[in-house]
Amino acid sequence: MQISETSKRILADLLRSQTGQDFPPNRRWRVGTALSGLCREHGIANLDSLIAKLGMSQRSAQAHTLVEALLNNETYFFRDRAMFDLLAGRVLPDLAEARASTKSVRIWSVGCSSGQEALSLAMLFAEQESRWAGWTIDIVGTDVSTSVVEAARSACYTQFQIQRGLAVGQMVKWFEETPQGWRAKEKLRRMVRFEKHNLLDPPPNPAHFDIVLCRNVLLYFDDVTRARAFERLAAVLAPDGWLLLGAGETSLGQSDRIVPDRDLRGFHRLATSARAQRTADLPRRAAG
Amino acid sequence: MKTCLIVDDSSMIRKFLRTSLESLDFAVREATNGQEAIARCEESMPDVIVLDWHMPVMTGIEFVKLLRQGGHADQPKVVFCSTENDLDHIRTAIEAGADEYVMKPFDRETLHMKLQLVGVA
């Protein structure tokens, strides 16, 4: 379905004002598919009429439904398993040592969609039960979309969602059958909470995080907004914390404060932390 | 190229699975029940078996129990693929020796993820 230049401008303005996201040409091809459900719901045959009807008032609830329909909520359990393997095998053991005195770990899943990433993280902790016994694990998932945050809070998944990326052994162990779908068990639910939030706004509590996952979010921002987002992320990251970006995303050339980790692909550190690490390595290298 | 044996009495499901698996670079053979599957495995053991539950002559559960008891050194991965979508059936399949479980209906991407999880894709 074609849309007029006026409609494209309305959508671009709505997306930017409500989410900070950009609406470049390469994102416009899926507008017809994304809005077809709303067309049916409102009994409107063409996109221009729908956009004119719903998008007239920037702050109306109807405009918000238009924006929600445009958002890409693609997610699944353990998306990019190699990254989760590195978290479980390399990062969490380091973190357990570094936080042994406080026994507290704080993680932020930015753009959490319906919560599969946050629950995948919770499973990593639950599966290392002896290491984390007595610890406070606080995983906060945030998203700009109200509907996916509500879905994440329910912790219920359809048959289609539950078997995407999740091993059957984990499904049997960590989920239960309910009339509403496959629901995460209490042990996982206790570790996660979800809030509607925009990355460009002041951060959610506790405002400082040991690990931040911000995967496939920054790609929707233009360069200026992405630089602001990196500043936000740098401000909340613990000095020895990790930032995880999506496959194909990097801080290189976009942030002076956050740099790729030398050893762990896809992981990033504060530049100050990376410099400290290099300095600490020098005597070892000289000795070796 | 990895090999896959599809065991399902529905020609429509076998066709869908064959198309999906061939697009994932598998060499595919087919059987319509557990007994035929035993014959195919005797000829040559595949890397992975995608297995239906309810079939005439020999069910998927009967087949996987026999396979696991057979003591073959080169045990294939077994991915159950069934409309029995409740926890009790899924547990029964795992206890019988299945490595993964796909609930029908499913799409090609879900099948691909499950094959990755058992290490054959």
- Segment among A2-11, A105-114, A158-167, B9-18 with least mean pLDDT: A2-11
Residue B90 has pLDDT above 60, yes or no: yes
Q: Which CATH architecture has domain B2-117?
A: 3-Layer(aba) Sandwich (3.40)
Q: Quick one: pLDDT band at residue A280, thresholds 50, 70, 90?
A: low
The CATH code for residues A81-278 is 3.40.50.150
> A159, B85: Cβ pair inside 8 Å?
yes
> B94, A76: Cβ pair inside 8 Å?
no
For testing the chain B interface, which of A163, A172, A185 should be mutated: the one with the most B CBs within 10 Å?
A163
Contacts of B114 in chain A (CB under 8 A): 163
Partner residue facing A172 (CB), from B87, B102, B110 = B87
How would you classify the pairing of strands A267-270 and A175-178? unpaired
Tens of pLDDT along A232-266?
999 999 999 999 999 889 999 999 999 999 899 89
Contacts of A169 in chain B (CB under 8 A): 94
Question: What is the crossing angle of helices B108-117 and B11-23, to 10°?
Answer: 70
Predicted confidence at residue B74, as pLDDT, reads 87
Q: Is A168 in contact with B100 (CB distance < 8 Å)?
A: yes
> B103, A167: Cβ pair inside 8 Å?
no
User: pTM of the full predicted structure?
Assistant: 0.92
Predicted confidence at residue A24, as pLDDT, reads 87
> A168, B101: Cβ pair inside 8 Å?
yes
Residue A287 has pLDDT above 80, yes or no: no
Q: Quick check: A130 contacting B, CB < 8 Å?
A: no
Q: Is A34 in contact with A69 (CB distance < 8 Å)?
A: yes
Task: Please state which CATH class domain A5-70 belongs to.
Answer: mainly alpha
Contacts of B116 in chain A (CB under 8 A): 81
How far apart CA A203 and CA A207 sit, in angstroms, is: 5
Positive/negative CA dihedral, A53, A55, A59, A60: positive
> A172, B85: Cβ pair inside 8 Å?
no
Q: Which value does ipTM take for this structure? A: 0.93
